[in-house]
Amino acid sequence: MDKEIIQIENQEPVICIKDLKKSFGSLNVLNGVDFEIKKGENIAVLGRSGTGKSVLIKIISGLLKPDSGLVKVLGQEVDKLNEKELQTLRLKIGFSFQNSALYDSMSVRENLKFPLVRNRRELNDKEVNDAIESVLNDVGLPQTINQMPSELSGGQKKRIGIARTLILKPEIMLYDEPTSGLDPITCIELNNLILKVQQEYKTSSIIITHDLTCAKNTSDKVAVLVQGKFLKVGSFEEVFSSDDENIRTFYNYNFTENTKSNEK
């Protein structure tokens, strides 16, 4: 699927972060992060392990509290919400976990049904089944509906994990290493699915990834997190035209070292 340019009608950011700081003891993880995402944008967040990428999305979803700074999601300051307000906000945020987080004891149908009946109790059985079948078609896996997670490939598990999130029709998607551990062909399929979700569900997304091919093909912007701050934010070409050694090292590892390894 070719990446389409999405017309952003509402220029108000759906996520706005200013001077965000977070430490754990003497370890400064986020040290003055400024960041915003407008409606319909996909932004890939890049950085080495331990640079605070996962901490960032946990703060956005209210799973962690910031030490200081502004974190506004869909117009609400996250750290000022009570538990009920936070739960309501989280229903508008979809998580695609690195390990898919499927329930092993449930079939695909049951995995998709669980969040729907828990959060949309007004739906009747037909509406629930229609929603399950529809979202499975959207991720290209209608044939898996009665399978168990143990019968699925890694790429299929990732797709079903995304489907389970999409069934609640979130406004924001948070992808945690969506292509990690997948073969190149399956990575392409996942990248195409992320674009399809953006275009058909009108989501705004943060894509946490080490995979620059994923970042290039799925994002409108990329942001490089170094020493607790975004070193550079812009289009893929703008960011990686930089002569900054931190950025060039990251680029060379993905496109030079990995290429050499694949040639061996």
* Partner residues linked to 55 by β-bridges: none
* pLDDT for the residue numbered 249: 80
How high does pLDDT run on average in the chain?
89
> What CATH code is assigned to 13-92+171-263?
3.40.50.300
For residue 241, the one-letter residue type is S
User: What was the pLDDT predicted at 12?
Assistant: 79
pLDDT at residue 11, rounded to an integer: 66
Indicate where the chain has its CATH 3.40.50.300 domain(s): 13-92+171-263
Per-residue pLDDT of the chain (264 residues; tens, 9 = 90+): 555 444 444 467 999 999 999 999 999 999 999 999 999 999 999 988 778 898 999 999 999 999 999 999 999 999 999 999 999 999 999 998 877 789 999 999 999 999 999 998 899 999 999 999 999 999 999 999 999 999 999 999 999 999 999 999 999 999 999 998 899 999 999 999 999 999 999 999 999 998 999 999 999 999 999 889 999 999 999 999 988 888 888 777 666 555 444 444
Which pLDDT value is given to residue 210?
A: 86
- pTM of the predicted model, to two decimals? 0.88
**Cα–Cα distance measured from residue 170 to residue 39, given in angstroms and rounded to the nearest whole number:** 12
Give the pLDDT confidence of 9-41 residue by residue, as tens digits: 446 799 999 999 999 999 999 999 999 999 999
The DSSP call for residue 115 is H
What is the model's pLDDT at position 1?
Answer: 54
CA gap 249, 82 in Å, rounded: 42
Distance CA 212, CA 184 (A): 13
* Gap between the terminal Cα atoms of the chain: 30
Kindly report, residue by residue over 35-84, the tens digit of the pLDDT. 999 999 999 999 887 788 989 999 999 999 999 999 999 999 999 999 99
Q: Assess contact for 196 and 2: CB atoms under 8 A.
A: no
**What does the pLDDT read at residue 222?**
96
